[in-house]
Amino acid sequence: MDVPRTRRVTHPRFPERLRQAGLRATRPRLLVLELLRDRPGHHSADEIVALLANARTPLPRTSVYNVVGALADRGILTMVVIGPGCARYEYADPTHHHFVCKVCGRIQDVPCDGAASPCLTPATFDGEIQETQITFRGTCAACRGRGASRSPR
């Protein structure tokens, strides 16, 4: 028996934001944006595929990879590079940095000092910087509380 798809309400700004970025407001793009709006955090493309399937709005894995790539290229999503392995994606508002615990792997948002993006620029550089990504690494408060200080990875 087929399970009916749930009806999702598109955030009113998403279609316009896609158009302003030079992208069409396609169903896959809107589904990924809505998912990341509803489930904040740092998700791999494979996690997004699984979350969409669980929400009864499945998309092919290739489509999700294409969508997150296009949305990250246009600054609508942030691709969080935390080290070797899979990239993580999140909705790109507001500008912030990340902390990665070397013990448990948890990713936490770190507020940015600056109000504009990029909030950190080098003193001298011959080029146009459009974004910065800073990743702090160390031991999170929970792991420190358990006495953990070394990475099992």
pTM to 2 decimal places: 0.77
Domain count for the chain:
2
Does 122 share its domain with 150? yes
- pLDDT value at 9 more than 70: no
Do the Cβ atoms of 76 and 32 come closer than 8 Å? no
The domain boundary, picked from 53, 69, 92, lies at 92
Does 57 share its domain with 112? no
pLDDT at site 2: 43
Whether a cis peptide bond, with omega within 30° of 0, leads into 15 is no
How large is the average pLDDT for residues 28-52? 94
- Distance, in Å, from the CA atom of 35 to the CA atom of 48, rounded to the nearest integer, reads 8
- pLDDT value at 121 more than 60: yes
CATH of the domain at 62: 1.10.10.10
The domain boundary, picked from 58, 92, 126, lies at 92
Pick the more confident residue, 151 or 38. 38
Task: Give me the domain span that covers residue 134.
Answer: 94-153
